[in-house]
């Protein structure tokens, strides 16, 4: 598997986890197999299928809007 294919697979799964179908490869700030410390304005989540940690901008995280939660 090439690096491009791996990043594409990570992005596909991140779209589901973060409820953002418009998420692109370049929107992923960082990914790692080890836990990531979030920077200011970032959200970090572990992807269940790939098992990698992904950091994206908090503005790209649409989970609250998708569930209707206000918290």
pLDDT digits (tens, 9 = 90+) for 10-69: 999 999 999 999 999 999 999 999 999 999 999 999 999 999 999 999 999 999 776 666
| Structural domain contains residue 70 | no
Domain that holds residue 42: 3-62
| Structural domain contains residue 69 | no
pLDDT at 62: 95
| Structural domain contains residue 68 | no
When divided into structural domains, the chain yields a total of: 1
| Structural domain contains residue 67 | no
Residue 1 has pLDDT above 90, yes or no: no
| Structural domain contains residue 29 | yes
Strands 42-46 and 28-32: unpaired
Three-state SS for 41? Answer: coil
CA atoms within 13 A on the CB side of 65: 9
């Amino acid at each position: 598997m090439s690096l491009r294919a791996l990043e594409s697979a990570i992005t596909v799964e991140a779209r589901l986890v973060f409820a953002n179908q418009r998420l692109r490869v370049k929107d992923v700030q960082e990914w790692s197999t080890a836990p990531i410390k979030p920077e200011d304005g970032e959200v970090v989540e572990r992807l269940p299928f790939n098992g990698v940690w992904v950091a994206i901008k908090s503005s790209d995280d649409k989970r609250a809007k998708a569930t209707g939660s206000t918290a």
